[in-house]
Structure formats: C-alpha cells, structure tokens
Structure 1
Amino acid sequence: MAEALPPQLRQIQHHLRTGQEHEKRDPVVAYYCRLYAMQTGMKLDSKTPECRKFLVKLMDQLEKMKKELGDNESISQELVGHAHIENYALKMFLYADNEDRSGRFHKNMIKSFYTASLLLDVLSVFGELSEENFQHRKYAKWKATYIHNCLKNGEMPQSGPIGMEGDSVIDTLQDARAVSMPSQPSQPSPHVLPRDGPGANANFSNIQIPPGAHAPANTPAEVPHCTGEVRLTPEDYTRAQKYCKYAGSALQYEDVGAAVQNLQKALKLLTTGRE
C-alpha cells in the first residue's frame, strides 16, 4: 500500500512489511499478514480520520486479494489456511534455531526468527494460539532481539535457550525439536543463504528468504502399530484432520519430510488415541 501508515498504527508496520515481502513469493502469507494487520489496526484506532482512511484502503486490498485467490483452499478454508501459515512459520523458526544452536549468527537467521514470530502473531486470526505456538513466538522474538543486539554491539551471542527466563519455554522447544528436527540437520545452501559474521547490522526490511530453501529435512519416525480397540473423541478426529491438512500444505512446498512427519502424527493419533 502506498498510503502512509499513521503513527497510531505503528504496531502493525512489520506485519504489513512481511505481507509486502510475500506479495509474489507466497500470496497466502501476504493475505493473512494483512488480515491480521487490519484486525489489529481496528482495535488500535478506527476512529481518527487518518486511521479510518488507512484501514478502509487495507480492507479494499484484502477484498481484492480474496477474489483473486478465491480458488485457493488456504483462503477459502480456515483449517487449511491455519496449516499453511503455521507450517511456514515453523519452517523459518526451525531453520533459525538450527543455525543458532550451531553457532552460526547472521542477518538471515535473525530475520528468520523475527519473521517466524510475526507469522505466529498472524495465527491469532484463526483463534487463540496453542501453548506450543505461544512459546515459539515468545522465544523467537527474544532470540531475534538478543542476537541482533549482540552483533550490533560486537558481542558473541550464546547459542540455544540459555539465559532465557521460564523453564516452560525451554521444555516446549526441546519437545518440539525432538519430533521436528533430524539427528544430523541438513545445512543450508550457501548461495541461498549468504552468511554475515559478528558485527553485522540486522536490517529486517531487505533480506529475502525463499520458502522451502531453509527448511531442514525431517527424519521419519517409526510408524505406530494399532494395539486393541481405540476410542477416539471428536477432538481426536479434528486433530488428525489438522495434521493431514498440514501434510498437504507441506507438499505444496515439496517438503516431503514435514509431510511425512504430519501424516505419522495423524496415524499415531488414529491408531493409539495419543499424540
């Protein structure tokens, strides 16, 4: 949007910028970033003339995008849209987390942490965040700020969740990595992700990370076997359906590892009644 952002709506500027960056790369991400910005902007200030004018233009842009993307299931079906955004956010998070734990600190990994946190914000358009996504968002925002400040001041950051308050954050991250990360993560291609050494100044507005280029492969887990009769609740069926949608979204990015992982989660839930 060419319209200048009113200062009262400054809180949504990074979500709008992320939407702009994904205009051509991933229009679904762009759409939901703008939807989040519009919903948040309405709560911030929908009364003053400049804010109302800005938000009306944003609504018009969303309506236009919705018509153009009308055939896309990620727009027409909330469950698929949620899976699309969550998958994208967690792929960025896992890439940045892997770089961080390997001691590789550079602008792209900071950008990846930061964008992941913004996209986890965006998930709130579908309802309340899960505890796992809430903790991932909190950690990603902290890490992006912490590493950015260290490099800006010429200091060497500490890898991993060391030094962050709240054991629940660390526990959640360790649990997530146990099922999401391979034992030997694949390394990003140097021509896709240029690295910057300590002292680089992180600029969140101009680093391009192509989707799928930074996602580590996933190690398939053992397929669970059905033991006896399993009584499933309606919530179990909903969760299994969600994992199948996630798998479909991963295949859009040709991310076989994530697709297999989510299908295995669905299979385990349906065969054992547990996640």
Structure 2
Amino acid sequence: MAASGLPPLPPQLKAVQHYLRTAQELDKREPVVAYYCRLYAMQTGMKTDSKNPECRKFLCKLMDQLEAMKKQLGDNEAITQEIVGCAHVENYALKLFLSADNEDRAGRFHKNMIKSFYTASLLIDVLTVFGELTDENVQHRKYARWKATYIHNCLKNGETPQSGPVGMEDEYNENEEADSQGLHNQEAQPSPSAFESGNVPASSFTGIHIPPGAHAPANTPAEVPHSTGTTSNAIQPTPQSIPIVDPSLYNVQAAGEMRLTPEDFARAQKYCKYAGSALQYEDVSTAVQNLQKALKLLTTGRE
C-alpha cells in the first residue's frame, strides 16, 4: 500500500498497513488520531526492520510526514501534551467501540459496525505509544477484534450473528491475516446511528468495564468514509442532560488539611483528562460529571 506522499510499503512492514490506512481515512476528520496512527506505524516499523534500505527509505519518508503534521498541529494540546493526546485517542477508540456495541446489542449487523469494532481495536494498539495498556483497554481490544471477526464471518457465510459476547470462548486468532485484511478492506457507509445516542450504557457487556467518562459523546459523526449504499436504522439523538453541581463541593477544604496519596492525584488527573477530552466534542454533561468527581476526590479524599 502506498500512502499519500509515501513510497510503496515494503513487504517487511506489512504489519503497519492497516494503521497507515486508518490514518489516511481520519486525516480530515481526526488529524490528531491520524498523527498518532502514523507515529505507532513508524515505531512499529523501526522495531520490525530499520536496516533494510527499502524499509529505511519508507520510514524516513514517514518520519518527514510526521514532522510536517506535528508542525501543522503544533498549537494543539493533544500533540504537545501526551496525557491529553492519550485521552483524545482513547476516547475516540471507545466511541467507535461503544457505537458498534450499541448496534450489535440492537441486532443491527452491517459493515459499518464491523469496521467500527475493528478500527477501535487498531486504535487501542495505537495507545501503546503512550505506555502500557490498561487492563480495560486490553479487554476492549480482544473483544472488539473477536466481535468484528465473528460478525464478518457470519455475514460472509449467510448466517445471522448472535448479539453480545455469546460464544466468545471460541478465541479469535490475532494472526489470521486473511480475516483482518478482509475486515479492513470492506467498504461501509456512515451510519447516522453510530454516535448520535448520548446515553450509551456505561457497561453493556459481561466482564468489561468502561472507564468513567469514556462513553460516546452525543452528535459525533461516523468515521468510515466509504459507501456501498447499505444503511442501518437511525437512533434519534438524545438531548444532553447537564448534571447539577453537588452543593457540598463548594465547601472546599483549606490547603494542607486534606492529605492525598499519589494514587489520589493520579485518579483526579484522569478525571480531568476525560473532562478535557469530552469538551473537545462539546459533551458538556460528561465534562461536568468528571470534573465533579475530580473535585470531590481532591476535597474529600474519597470518590
């Protein structure tokens, strides 16, 4: 595959092709996510083969592309601050994941939903540029890849998939290149229902926890740019309900009276991170909820 401005992808770097293709698809809609997809591809390519002349030439061109993007997005905090960038990519991946899960739960099986599951799993891979994945994200990635493969194979064979995690004991083999190639190459039309529901359940399947605030913000467009004329039933947007600020939080403890642990500060920082990311999507309700959680933790030492 040859990305825009890049030479043909060497066979040795075949493992990064889906991430580069995802970056191309998101260049206009989500340039920050596209940037980190390319960064992940470059880091993975360097580990795979940086000595072969063909690979080195490709990776140098990819590095130039990254530098150009970084300069263009230089005033974006999601590029200059890793914690903001991590929150941005993570929330975007979980939006795709939860929109696909919502369609799956409703029994609406289509190519757009399959690709949302699969792309979400790729973006969770991309999160490793920021460090080790959380247990929740590891679970999300495994479930998303299994679900995408299962539904893809069912539709290909003319079978009706089962909603939810039924049958997950049949493990998905991540090395099945043919399946993953088919998943990424399939075309799908953006579904109006993909992100319009602002009240996606926080935890809608067995054994997998959705981090607080990491649900699909309302009124965000679907991300798959291709079209085959296949659509799904639309879910009407749910108006955002902005929570009332807890009056008890106004009684802030005086400085020095509350002793917080490093873990408390880390959790408060995570709530603020989710709030900031939610504001990028104008999701006021999620932002307020997470800011309240951070404030409560900082003023009472409890969640």
**Shorter-chain TM-score: what band?**
0.7 to 0.9
Q: Is the 8 A contact 2:243 2:285 kept in 1?
A: no
Q: 1:99 to 1:274 in 2, by over 3 A?
A: farther
- Relative to structure 1, the CA distance from residue 260 to residue 163 in structure 2 (aligned partners, 3 Å threshold; closer, same or farther) is farther
Q: Does 1:255 align with 2:275?
A: no
**Which AA in structure 2 matches 1:24?**
K
Give the equivalent residue in structure 2 for 1:206: 226
| Aligned residue identity for 1:148 | H
Q: C-alpha deviations, 1:179-211, integer Å up to 9, x for none?
A: 8679xx98x89xx66xxxxxxxxxx88369xxx
Matches within 5 A, 1:37-48: 37-48=41-52
**Cα distance per residue 1:147-182 (max 9 Å; x no partner):** 11111111111111111139xxx6442x32898679
- Quickly say closer, same or farther: Cα 1:99–1:273, change in 2 above 3 A: farther
Is contact 1:111–1:207 with CA below 8 Å preserved after alignment? no
Q: How does 1:44-63 map to 2 (within 5 A)?
A: 44-63=48-67
Give 1:30 shift. 0.7
Change (3 A) 1:255 1:78: same
Which of these residues, 171, 176, 200, is aligned with residue 210 of structure 2?
176
Change in 2 beyond 3 A, CA 1:50/1:179: closer
Counterpart of 1:154? 158
SS of residue in 1 equivalent to 2:287: helix
Q: Output the CA distance in 1 between the equivalents of 2:164 and 2:282.
A: 28
Offset, 1:232 = 2.0
Within the candidate set 90, 93, 111, 1:89 is matched to 93
Alignment of 1:188-203 (within 5 A): none
- Show the counterpart of 2:73: 69
Q: Supply the distance in 1 between the matched residues of 2:37 and 2:140 (Cα, whole angstroms).
A: 18
* Largest Rg, 1 or 2: 2
2:105 to 101, 107, 110: 101
Look up the SS of the partner of 1:138 in the other structure. Answer: helix
Aligned to 1:196: none
8 Å CA contact 2:213–2:275 kept in 1: the answer is no
Per the alignment, in what secondary structure is the counterpart of residue 176 of structure 1?
Answer: coil
CA distance in 2, matches of 1:134, 1:111: 18
Identity %: 70
**Contact 1:217–1:257 (CA<8 Å) still a contact in 2?**
no
Letter in 1 for 2:39: L
Whole-angstrom distance in 1 between the partners of 2:143 and 2:275: 25
Shift of 1:223: 7.2
Instruction: Verify the 8 A CA contact 1:223 1:268 in the aligned structure 2.
Output: no
Q: Match for 1:123 among 113, 123, 127?
A: 127
Between the aligned partners of 1:216 and 1:134, the Cα distance in structure 2 is 30
Contact between 2:213 and 2:274, CA under 8 Å: does it hold in 1? no
1:253 positional shift: 1.2
Aligned mates of 1:151, 1:81 — CA distance in 2: 36
The alpha-carbon deviation at position 242 of structure 1 amounts to: 2.3
Partner of 1:240: 268
What amino acid maps onto 2:11 in structure 1? P
Match of 2:16 among 12, 19, 26: 12
Which amino acid in 2 is paired with 1:248? Answer: G
1:80 corresponding residue in structure 2? 84
Aligned-partner Cα distance in 2 for 1:52–1:215: 48
The residue identity in structure 1 corresponding to 2:160 is M
In structure 2, the CA distance between the partners of 1:123 and 1:218, relative to structure 1 (3 Å rule), is: farther
Deviation at 1:272, TM superposition (A): 5.3
Relative contact order, CA 8 A, sep 6+: which one is greater? 1
CA distance in 1, matches of 2:142, 2:207: 11
Deviation at 1:78, TM superposition (A): 0.4
**How many angstroms does 1:252 deviate by?**
1.1
